Chains A and B, each alone.
Chain A
Amino acid sequence: EVQLVESGGGLVQPGGSLKLSCAASGFTFSGSAMHWVRQASGKGLEWVGRIRSKANNYVTAYAASVKGRFTISRDDSKNTAYLQMNSLKTEDTAVYYCTRPHYNILIGYDEDWFDPWGQGTLVTVSS
């Protein structure tokens, strides 16, 4: 069974930093891109960013709202993806989900529809 488990959320002051983790199991993590999506309370889903696999050079991409402040990384030996969040703002308060895109073996590329999703971890940025 594919499982994604986020951790590391909590309360942080504006301007502070936090690092989230996403532990994966049940699939070949090293061959998969990983994405982060967030959801403010009572609001919709916002894509945060992604990191591709080693075969795709660990290329990252970010939403404009977090670019330059957030960094996605991964440790394939630990089957874990990370979201380093710096210079946090109150508007970054949200549940953060990690999720996995579908990998098309035939074309060797990700198709960015997501299944499954982790349960999420809550990040609260407040003074």
Chain B
Amino acid sequence: DIVMTQSPDSLAVSLGERATINCKSSQSVLSSSNNKNYLAWYQQKPGQPPKLLIYWASTRASGVPDRFSGSGSGTDFTLTISSLQAEDVAVYYCQQYYSTPLTFGPGTKVDIK
């Protein structure tokens, strides 16, 4: 199984400042057949289901503000919120879909400082 880890566990950022979340996979999720990274990011607010933010490591889902961006390749990935807004307070999860069982990172909680 591919184990996903995230860092930090939580972070507090001032409004308008940058938030950076890291995700690491225990093995590469980069496919040699299509040169794509099988990595997605989700946002989950309290009492709500997860919401897709990013897929293929860096493609924003429809309707996701452009302050959210994803980067990285192979085993190391980053989700960046360029200018934190109050509505971005949530837990963020990465997920690999390279192989079954599909696995998620443990989550990173983002709060306002």
B1 to chain A, nearest CB (A): 8
Other-chain residue from A64, A111, A118 in contact with B97 (beta carbon distance below 8 A): A111
Q: A44-B93, A44-B107, A45-B93 are in contact. Are A115 and B101 (CB under 8 A)?
A: no
B54 to chain A, nearest CB (A): 9
Scan residues 63-113 of chain B and give those whose CB is less than 8 A from a CB of chain A: 93, 95, 97, 100-107
Other-chain residue from A45, A111, A116, A120 in contact with B55 (beta carbon distance below 8 A): A111
A35–B101 CA distance with the chains assembled, in angstroms: 12
**Is the Cβ of A45 less than 8 Å from the Cβ of B50?**
yes
**Is the Cβ of A113 less than 8 Å from the Cβ of B104?**
no
What is the interface residue range for chain A against chain B? Answer: 20 to 34
- Total number of A-B contacts with CB less than 8 angstroms? 55
Interface size on B, residues (CB 8 A): 22
Scan residues 88-123 of chain A and give those whose CB is less than 8 A from a CB of chain B: 97, 99, 101-102, 111-120
Which residues of B have CB within 8 Å of A97? 49-50
Is A47's CB within 8 Å of the partner chain B? yes
Q: A112-B97, A117-B49 are in contact. Are A47 and B105 (CB under 8 A)?
A: no
Contacts from B to A (Cβ < 8 Å): 38, 40, 42, 48-52, 55-56, 61, 93, 95, 97, 100-107
CB-based closest 3 A-B pairs: A112-B97, A117-B49, A115-B52
Contacts from A to B (Cβ < 8 Å): 35, 44-47, 61, 63-64, 97, 99, 101-102, 111-120
